[in-house]
Amino acid sequence: MEKNRSFAEIIVDINSRRTDRVFHYDLPAGIKERVVVGSRVLVPFGGRKLAGYVVGFGFPESTIKTKDILEIIDEEPVFTPELLELARWMADSYICSTAEALSRILSPRLGVKAPRRVMLFRPALPEDKIREVIDKMPHAPKQIAVIKAAVKSPGLTRKELAASAQTVMKTVDVLVEKGLLEVFTGDSPLLPGGSVEGEAGTDLPRLNPEQEVACKEISGAIGKGKFKAFLLQGVTGSGKTEVYMRAVAAALESGRQAVILVPEISLTPQMIDLFRGRFGGNVAVLHSALAGGERYGEWRRAKEGQAPVVLGTRSAVFAPSSSPGLFVIDEEHEPSYKQDDRLRYHAREIALKRAQQFGAVVVLGSATPSLESQFRSLPGGPYQLLKLPHRIEKRPLPPVRIVDLRQEMREGNRGIFSRSLKDAVCKRMERGEQAILFLNRRGYTTFVVCRECGQVLKCPHCDISLTYHLDGLLRCHYCNYTTTSPKLCPRCGSSYIRHFGVGTQKVEEEARRLFTGARIVRMDSDSTARKGSHEKIVNLFRQGQADILIGTQMIAKGLDLPGVTLVGVINADATLHMPDFRAAERTFQLLTQVAGRTGRGDSAGEVLVQTYCPDHYSIITAASHDCEGFYNHEMPIRRSLGYPPFSFLARLLFTHPEEDVVRKGAGLARNILEKAISGRGDLVDVLGPAPAPLQRIKDQYRWQLVLKGPRRNLLKVAILECLDALEKSRPVFKPAVNVDINPQGMI
Ligand code: ADP
Ligand code: ZN
Ligand code: ZN
């Protein structure tokens, strides 16, 4: 009896590893016929009604009593087998539940309750017939305008159509009654589609020989339809974007789709225009700032193949294209590719995984690639290196001058501006040119620096800058080494050793005092909190309505401002002394990036970098745009300290409103981990527990454990064991735990 009866295998949408397995549900009549793998359904679960993902059909192992699926949530399946496999891989790699990974992958889809179907309009007759009709109705200019608009862009809503003909919606209705327009239903919004061919072939720039080589290699690989990864290392302004676009064209030519990721800050209207200009309506733009409906519309265009080119930020890596042949990650070193809460995935890792699934090509592009990617593109490594060593049209890279703030200090200038920077700004103001003042403040931590000799206090065990805490103590956030803040510099004996931190407001005040009459605008997360104000400030500046732009990280990239001939870096040390093993790398990348901002137009630019550490290799190599030099200096340090790319890191972050609870919880976790790794202690290092650099956020105290070791899998095994043990020791163990595999920062 009931021999043919099979059950739906369902992953229930709860964010818990404990319930991360398949549950069996009955298929009542009426539902049975419509459910497929990929369907989202509503199921009873522990007294609640929850969403569930159908991942297969089969029979439960035991004869437990099964319950009925209650209803189907979406008309169509929401995920493909490929995305399910990706979700399972994510659950395994990042230690989360499959349901959480699926909901992350599908977020543009799930964010929309029911897709809004709207009435859209298009001409009801072929174009020559329409023309005949128009000729016969010369006294109805409004109606003619509406018809013309409908011919030009079929698929507008009633309101859009009326607006584009500058008339009222009633006119649209009249034309429907006359049988000249017809109504159909579709998803809103439909962006007007451009030509399917794009403009390939017409007035494209002629590639220079290096671009030529890069394009040939990439399109060759795309043509083979096998997985391959490239690192495209090209100085700023070397024409990487052109290479990306040729690669996209190659993917389209072979009948595949392309996904292009850019950092949040680079997804400017200019960037979008550039791709739309080349690929027209084939481009969907996906980023989290889009409104739900808009985002869903674009997601759907990608899914259904109307938009074979997806341009977007981090989460666009999950674009539902049916068979992507190319993934591009521009500025691949950017930390913003790492999701920094809950499910902490890295878009680069996802792109590589998906490309393997599809036999696709990955292009990682950057002027300053991450050390991990450089390491992997050494001869014999998994990535192939392609280089664009020159700027387009041999425009020179701007000269970088390093200003020694210790010297300023000795000569009695304790202000924010060195005399050189002051003079340089004044010169620009006299000549009517523009200047950018850049303050690289990241993470809000304070470090202690000697203003006499530049000495910064570091952890003797981890080589991480110690962070100053309000209790006057200095702490290492990896291993919790603690020491008192010295009164005198341990190196030179100076008493000018103190914690450090300057804000943009202070720089603005000082600039207004020094450069009277200059028009100054400031751009940081405070001044640009409102949507669109970032754009406004940039446009103001671009149009020459301001002389000086002061800002943080935000202005380091994504801006192409021809009027700027000076970039002043107020204090390079803020990044250099972040409590992070990547501090030197980030400083090098940031300064190189900033230096790439100037000299893009016709007049040559100049960069001034103020620092208390003028001899630091990050600063010296950035000043001479010397990526290889930086690499050669940094790699041996990483190797000797056992940091990535020679090892893997993982962080366990514990949070709770009571500090005592969180400290004890982290301690308990450490003990469990020690047990878990016993016998493998030489392969896994457990550091901490230590308070996180930001010790308290939103009333939650934060402590962390850092795991380090050459085998990613061993770290994972230890963490899993630890999480399971912690689960069992509730209620003794109270804090929330967040796992971060390959953290990109540990603030
Ligand atoms: P990158 O992305 O490497 O920083 P861009 O893509 O911004 O460099 O290129 C710099 C400029 O050079 C852009 O204005 C681009 O249109 C132009 N460009 C790119 N390739 C060529 C080429 N082969 N010939 C002429 N101009 C080019
Ligand atoms: Zn000193
Ligand atoms: Zn330490």
Residue nearest to atom 17 of ligand 1 (CA): 239
The answer, yes or no, to whether any atom of ligand 1 lies below 6 A from the CB of 394, is no
Model confidence at 525, pLDDT cuts 50, 70, 90, reads low
Give 193's pLDDT tier (boundaries 50, 70, 90): very low
Q: Atom 24 (ligand 1): residue with closest C-alpha? A: 205
**Which amino acid would we find at residue 590?**
L
> Quick check: 669 and 705 in contact, CB under 8 A?
yes
Does the pLDDT of residue 409 top 50, yes or no? yes
Helix (H) or strand (E) holding 43: strand 40-45
| Per-chain mean pLDDT for the chain | 87
Q: Quick one: which atom of ligand 1 is closest to the CA of 392?
A: 12
Q: How much is the CA Rg of the chain, to the nearest whole Å?
A: 29
CA gap 14, 358 in Å, rounded: 29
Residue 592 Cβ inside 6 Å of ligand 1? The answer reads no
End-to-end CA distance of the chain: 60
Range scoring the smallest mean pLDDT among 197-211, 564-578, 712-726? 197-211
The two three-digit tokens of residue 683, written as one number? 């392969």
Residue 471 has pLDDT above 90, yes or no: no
pLDDT of amino acid 169: 87
Cα 688 to averaged position of ligand 3 atoms, centre (Å): 8
- Residue that the structure tokens 């239903």 belong to: 185
Q: Give distance in angstroms: CA of 455 to centre of ligand 2.
A: 5
Q: In this model, does residue 355 exceed pLDDT 50?
A: yes
In terms of DSSP H, where are the helices of 401-440? 405-410, 419-431
Q: Which two tokens stand for residue 680?
A: 């493998």
Report how far ligand 2's centroid is from the alpha carbon of 84 (Å): 57
Ligand 1 pocket mutation, candidates 216, 241, 260, 329, criterion most atoms within 8 A of CB: 241
For atom 7 of ligand 1, the residue with the nearest CA is 237
579 lines ligand 1 (CB under 6 A): no
Q: What is the mean pLDDT of residues 624-628?
A: 91
> What is the percentage of the chain residues whose pLDDT exceeds 70?
91
Among all bound ligands, the one having the nearest atom to the CA of 493 is 2
Residue 117 — very low, low, confident or very high, per pLDDT cuts 50/70/90?
low
User: Is it the case that residue 135 has pLDDT exceeding 80?
Assistant: yes
pLDDT at residue 192 in the model: 42
Q: Residue 560 has what pLDDT?
A: 65
Q: Determine the pLDDT at residue 443.
A: 43
**pLDDT for position 197:** 41
What is the token pair recorded at 565? 């001939």
Confidence at residue 195, expressed as pLDDT on a 0 to 100 scale = 37
Going by CA atoms, what residue is nearest to atom 10 of ligand 1? Answer: 237
**Helices then strands (H, E): number in the chain?**
23, 31
Contact 232, 364 (CB under 8 A): yes
Average pLDDT over residues 499-515: 82
| DSSP single-letter state for residue 192 | P
Is residue 501 very low, low, confident or very high in pLDDT (cuts 50, 70, 90)?
low
Buried b (16+ CB within 10 A) or exposed e, 32-48: eeebebbbbbebebeee
The stretch 300-323 carries a mean pLDDT of 94
pLDDT of residue 677: 87
- Which carries the bigger pLDDT value, residue 143 or residue 499? 143
Q: What is the pLDDT of residue 558?
A: 47
Task: Give the mean model confidence (pLDDT) for residues 310-327.
Answer: 96
**Which position has the higher pLDDT, 378 or 117?**
378
**Ligand 1, atom 20: closest residue by C-alpha:** 239
- Residues 275-284 have pLDDT tens digits of 999 999 899 9
With a 6 A CB cut-off, is 368 part of the ligand 1 pocket?
A: no
**Ligand 1: does its nearest atom lie under 6 Å from the Cβ of 236?**
yes
Mean pLDDT, rounded, for 600-626: 86
Where residue 575 falls among pLDDT bands split at 50, 70, 90?
A: confident
List helix spans (H) across 254-395: 269-279, 292-303, 347-358, 371-376
Residue 553 pLDDT > 90, yes or no? no
Asked whether 242 lines ligand 1 (CB < 6 A), one says yes
Cα 690 to averaged position of ligand 3 atoms, centre (Å): 9
**For residues 288-310, average pLDDT:** 87
520 lines ligand 1 (CB under 6 A): no
* Ligand 1 binding pocket includes 445 (Cβ within 6 Å): no
Helix 347-358, helix 81-94: angle, nearest 10? 140
What pLDDT score was predicted for residue 190?
43
> Does residue 614 carry a pLDDT above 90?
yes
pTM more than 0.95: no
CA–centroid distance, residue 273 to ligand 1 (Å): 15
* Mean pLDDT across 319-331: 96
Atom 15 of ligand 1, residue of closest alpha carbon: 239
Residue predicted with more confidence, 195 or 121: 121
What is the average per-residue pLDDT within 481-497? 88
Instruction: Give the ligand 1 atom nearest the CA of 208.
Output: 23
Q: How far is the CA of 362 from the centre of ligand 3 (A)?
A: 36
Mutate to test the pocket of ligand 1, among 392, 394, 593, 598 (most ligand atoms within 8 A of CB): 392
Residue 6: pLDDT above 80? yes
What mean pLDDT do residues 147-169 have? 82
- Report pLDDT for 445: 60
Residue 201 predicted with pLDDT over 50: no
Q: Cα–Cα distance between 596 and 373 in angstroms, integer? A: 21
232, 242, 243, 594, best to mutate for ligand 1 pocket (most atoms within 8 Å of CB): 242
The finding on whether 240 has its CB within 6 A of some atom of ligand 1 is yes
User: Is 50 exceeded by the pLDDT of residue 405?
Assistant: yes
* pLDDT value of position 359: 97
The CB density around residue 427, as the number of other CB atoms within 10 Å, is 14
Q: Which ligand neighbours the alpha carbon of 278 most closely?
A: 1
Nearest CA to ligand 1 atom 23: 207
State if residue 365 touches ligand 1 by the CB under 6 angstroms criterion.
Answer: no
Question: In whole angstroms, what is the distance from residue 600 CA to residue 150 CA?
Answer: 42
- Per-residue model confidence (pLDDT) at position 199: 46
Atom of ligand 1 nearest to the CA of 235: 3
Q: How far is the CA of 275 from the centre of ligand 1 (A)?
A: 13
> Does the beta carbon of 98 sit less than 6 angstroms from any atom of ligand 1?
no
pLDDT tens column, 680-702 = 878 899 999 998 887 877 788 99
Q: Decide: 207 in ligand 1 pocket, CB within 6 A.
A: yes
pLDDT tens profile 251-260 = 999 999 999 9
- Beta-carbon contacts of residue 109 (< 8 Å; ≥ 6 apart): 78, 296, 299, 320
Cα→Cα distances 472→466, 475, 501, Å: 12, 10, 15
**Cα of 505 to ligand 2 centre, how many Å?**
28
Phi, psi of 549, deg, nearest 5: -110, 125
Please tell me the distance between residue 469's alpha carbon and the centre of ligand 2 in angstroms: 20
455 lines ligand 1 (CB under 6 A): no
Nearest ligand (C-alpha, residue 390): 1
**Ligand approaching nearest to the C-alpha of 481:** 3
pLDDT at 81 over 60: yes
Residue nearest to atom 25 of ligand 1 (CA): 205
Distances (CA, A) of 382 to 357, 361, 373, 569: 16, 12, 9, 36
Does the pLDDT at position 211 exceed 70?
yes
* Domain architecture of the chain: domains with CATH: 7-105 (3.40.1440.60), 117-187 (1.10.10), 199-388 (3.40.50.300), 400-442+506-637 (3.40.50.300), 447-500 (no CATH), 648-741 (3.30.70.360)
* SS3 at position 83: helix
Amino acid 165: pLDDT:
83
Say how many Å lie between the CA of residue 89 and the centre of ligand 3: 33
Q: What pLDDT band is residue 237 in, cutting at 50, 70 and 90? A: confident
Does ligand 1 have an atom closer than 6 angstroms to the CB of 206? Answer: yes
Single-letter amino acid code for the residue at 706: V
Q: Which phi and psi angles does 31 have, rounded to 5°?
A: -100, -40
89-123 core/surface letters (b: 16 or more CB in 10 A; e: else): bbbebbbbbbbbbbbbbbbbbbbbeebeeeebbbb
Contact in structure between 222 and 585 (CB atoms under 8 Å) = no
Ligand 1 contacts CB of residue 237 (under 6 A): yes
Mode of pairing for the β-strands spanning 361-366 and 228-234: parallel
